[in-house]
Structure 1
Amino acid sequence: MPARPPMGRDHGGIQALDRAFLILDVIADAGGEAKLTEIAASAGLNVSTCHHLISTLHNWGYVSRGINSRSYVLGSRILHLSAACLRQVDLPRRAQSFVDRLNDQTREAVQLAIMQDTNLVHILRREARHAVRVEAGFGGNANAAHATATGKAILAWLPPTELDRIVADKGLTAFTPNTITDIEKLKEHLRLVRRNGFSIDREEYRPGVICLGAALRDHAGAVVGSISVSAPAFRSTPDYIEQMKVHLIAAADELSVELGAPGAILRAPVKTIAAE
C-alpha cells in the first residue's frame, strides 16, 4: 500500500479533504468495512466530526451502510474510479494483440483511444506498413473528438448531457473544410454512427486521411474506448473501406468480448488487404 501523504494545512492541503480521504483509507485497511467508532478512533477524530464526513462521502457514493446499518463499507463510486484507473492502465495491454492483428490485416495505421473527462487521448498506436502511409502522430488532439473516427465512435454512445458537456468545454474546431462544426449536425451524424456500428472520418481532421472507428465495451456494456484504422484518401476506394471496416468491426467485437462485453457480435474477417 502506498504511504499516506502528510495531512493538514501546513502541507498545502485542505483539512476536511484530508480527513475524508483518511476515512476511506481506514475503511479499506479494515478490510472494507468498519464501525463508526472504529473509524473515528483510527482516524483520530471525534465521533460527531467523523459522522458528518462519512455522511458527505455517503451522499457521493464513496461510502455505504454495511449489514444492518451497524457499519460502513466502501461504496460503489470507489469501483467507478477503480474501473477508470484500471481501464487506462490495463486496456492497452489487453488490446495489444488485437491492434497488432488489425495492423497486420489492413497494413494501415491503427490507434486505440479513450476519453479522459472531456479529452480524447490516444493510448496505443501501430504505424502503417505501406510505403505511402498516414502520418497522424501518436498523441492526436484532445479537442478533436468530434472530428475523428476514434472520438466519434465514443461520442455516439454517450448520454446527451455528457456530449453537450464535452462540446461546451472543447468546442467544435474546424480542422478542415469537412469538419462538422454544428452541434445539431454532429448529433445527427452520431445517430448514423450508432445505426451503422462504426464511425468514419472523411478528411475531417487531416486532409487526405480517411479513418474508420468502432467502440469498445466492457462487462457492463459501457463504452470504454475505441479502435480505429486510418488510410490515405487516394487508397480508400469503396471496396478498400469495406475491407477495413470488416476487419475493424471484428477486432472491436472480439476485444469487447475479451473485456467481458455481453452479446458482442462476432463477424468473420475477410482476407488480408494486399500489399502495394
Structure 2
Amino acid sequence: MQQVSNALTAAGSKRASHYRHLSPALPGEERGKSIQSVDRVLSIIEILSLSDRPLMLKDIANLADLNLSTCHHLINTLVRRGYVINSGRAQGYSLSSKFEILSRRSEREAKLIEFVKPSLHELNEDIREAVQMTVLRGSSLVSYVRLPSQIRGSAIDLGNRPLTHAVHTVANGKAILAWLPQAELARVVADNGLTAFTPHTITSLSDLTEELRLVRRSGFAVEDGEFHTGQAGFAAPVRDMSGAVVGSIGVTVERRRASDAYSDYLTRAVVKCANDLSSRMPAGCFT
C-alpha cells in the first residue's frame, strides 16, 4: 500500500488522487465546387470497377477523357497507395482488393455503432452528461458515437472537440493507449506527438507511461484540463470476449463541476457501462 501511495503522490495531480480514491474498484474548395484531380481519380476507379478484365492505360485515358500523361500520373498514385494493381507490361491495370477491405471495415464500424448505441443512450439518460464512444484507427482517435449533454446551459460540445493529435490528452484516448503493446504505443506517440494543448497536458513519454500505468491498475482513465482547461473526463476501455480492447466509453463534463464525489459517481457509471458492453461483445466481430 505504501508503494501505491508513493506512486500516486509522485503523479502530483488531481487525476492521481482520483485514481487513488477509486482504485481498484473499477482549407479546400468552396462548397458546390468539385476538385478536378479527385473527380478524375474517381472516374478512373469507376471505369476499372466496371471492367471484367485489366485495362490498358490508353483505354483508361480514352474512357476517362484524359490525356495519357495525366492518366499515367493518377494511375501510378493509385498503384502506390495499393488501390490499383499493375498487372505487368502490356497486361493493364485492375482494382485491388483494398476496396473490399475498406468496405468490410465500414460494415464492421456500422455494426459496432449499432451495438453500442443503446448502452450509450442509456448512460446519457442516466447521468445526463455528454458521452462518446471512441476507437483508435491507426494512430488516430476517432469518435464513433457522440451524445450531447442534457444539462441546461452546459458548455460541453463534443462536436467542437476534434481529437486530432489529442489521443494522449483525453480520457477516452488514455483508456485505449494503456493497453497497447509498448511498440504500438511508441508508434502512436511518434505519429501524433505529445502536443501541449493546455498547461496541464502531459508532454513527456515518461509521464504518459506513468499515467497509463495508473489507468491499467485502476481500470479507468481520467482527464483533468489536459485538452481543454475547462473540461474534465472519465473513460473506460471496452473489450470483446477475447479480451481485446475495441474502444472506449467516456463522459466529458465542465471541470468546475467535477467535485470528488461527482467524479466518483461519473466514473462508476462509465465503468459499469463499459463492463456491460464488454460482457456482451462478440470476439473479433469489430476489430
Query: Which residue number corresponds to residue 24 of structure 2?
Result: none
CA distance in 2 between counterparts of 1:122 and 1:215 reads: 14
Root mean square deviation, CA, Å: 2.8
Structure 2 counterpart of 1:241, from 263, 268, 284: 263
**How far is the alpha carbon of 1:219 from its aligned partner?**
2.9
**How far is the alpha carbon of 1:140 from its aligned partner?**
2.2
CA distance in 2 between counterparts of 1:4 and 1:258 reads: 41
Query: Which residue number corresponds to residue 86 of structure 2?
Result: 15
Matched to 1:133, the amino acid is S
Query: Which residue number corresponds to residue 162 of structure 1?
Result: 184
**How far is the alpha carbon of 1:8 from its aligned partner?**
4.7
Task: Indicate whether 1:107 and 2:107 are aligned.
Answer: no
Q: Which has the higher contact order (CA 8 A, sep 6+)?
A: 2
Moved over 6 A (4+): 17-20
Q: Is this contact kept in 2: 1:9–1:15, CA < 8 A?
A: no
Q: Is this contact kept in 2: 1:8–1:14, CA < 8 A?
A: no
Q: Is this contact kept in 1: 2:156–2:252, CA < 8 A?
A: no
Cα shift readout 1:120-139 (whole Å, capped 9, x = no counterpart): 11111111111232423326
Task: Indicate whether 1:153 and 2:224 are aligned.
Answer: no
**How far is the alpha carbon of 1:233 from its aligned partner?**
1.2
Identity of aligned residues (%): 35
Structure 2 counterpart of 1:123, from 141, 144, 163: 144
Cα shift readout 1:112-154 (whole Å, capped 9, x = no counterpart): 1111101111111111111232423326222110000111111
Q: From the superposition, tell whether residues 190 and 100 of structure 1 become closer, same or farther in structure 2 (CA, over 3 Å).
A: same
**How far is the alpha carbon of 1:258 from its aligned partner?**
2.0
Q: Which runs of 5 or more residues in structure 2 are unaligned?
A: 1-45, 61-74, 76-83
CA distance in 2 between counterparts of 1:245 and 1:231 reads: 12
Superposition pairs for residues 75-114 of structure 1, below 5 Å? Answer: 84-114=105-135
Matched to 2:131, the amino acid is V
Q: Which runs of 5 or more residues in structure 1 are unaligned?
A: 29-77, 262-276
Q: How many equivalent pairs are there?
A: 207
Q: From the superposition, tell whether residues 198 and 86 of structure 1 become closer, same or farther in structure 2 (CA, over 3 Å).
A: farther
CA distance in 2 between counterparts of 1:158 and 1:134 reads: 32
Q: From the superposition, tell whether residues 190 and 3 of structure 1 become closer, same or farther in structure 2 (CA, over 3 Å).
A: farther
CA distance in 2 between counterparts of 1:4 and 1:224 reads: 35
Superposition pairs for residues 18-97 of structure 1, below 5 Å? Answer: 21=96, 84-97=105-118
SS in 2 for 1:227: strand
CA distance in 2 between counterparts of 1:211 and 1:164 reads: 24
CA distance in 1 between counterparts of 2:240 and 2:205 reads: 28
Task: Indicate whether 1:143 and 2:154 are aligned.
Answer: no
Matched to 1:187, the amino acid is T
Q: Is this contact kept in 2: 1:120–1:142, CA < 8 A?
A: yes
Task: Indicate whether 1:132 and 2:203 are aligned.
Answer: no
Query: Which residue number corresponds to residue 180 of structure 1?
Result: 202
TM-score normalised by structure 1 residue count: 0.67
Q: Is this contact kept in 2: 1:210–1:236, CA < 8 A?
A: yes
CA distance in 1 between counterparts of 2:245 and 2:176 reads: 7
- Larger CA deviation: 125-134 vs 5-14: 5-14
Cα shift readout 1:15-39 (whole Å, capped 9, x = no counterpart): 25967947x99xx9xxxxxxxxxxx
Matched to 1:109, the amino acid is A
Matched to 1:111, the amino acid is Q
CA distance in 2 between counterparts of 1:83 and 1:160 reads: 28
Q: From the superposition, tell whether residues 208 and 84 of structure 1 become closer, same or farther in structure 2 (CA, over 3 Å).
A: same
Query: Which residue number corresponds to residue 201 of structure 1?
Result: 223
Task: Indicate whether 1:252 and 2:255 are aligned.
Answer: no
